[in-house]
Amino acid sequence: MGDAFCLEFKVRDYECDLQGIVNNAVYQHYLEHARHEFLVSRGVDFAALAKEGIHPVVVRAELDYKRSLRPGESFVVETTCTREGKVRIVFLQDIRHADGGLVLSSRFVATVLDGRGRPRIPEGFAASVLGEGSGS
Q: Which residues in this chain contact a copy of itself in the complex, by CB under 8 A?
A: 12-14, 16-20, 23-26, 28-29, 32-33, 36, 40, 46, 50, 55, 57-65, 71-72
Residue 136 CA to residue 128 CA, distance in Å, equals 16
Interacting residues of 5 by C-beta distance below 8 A, sequence separation 6+: 34, 37, 38, 41, 78, 79, 80
Minimum distance from residue 115 beta carbon to a copy of itself (Å) = 14
Is the CB of 36 or the CB of 88 nearer to a copy of itself?
Answer: 36
User: In this structure, are residues 98 and 73 in contact, taking their beta carbons and an 8 Å threshold?
Assistant: yes
Minimum distance from residue 123 beta carbon to a copy of itself (Å) = 22
Minimum distance from residue 13 beta carbon to a copy of itself (Å) = 5
CB count, 10 Å around CB of 70? 13
- The catalytic site residues sit at 17
Is the CB of 29 or the CB of 118 nearer to a copy of itself?
Answer: 29
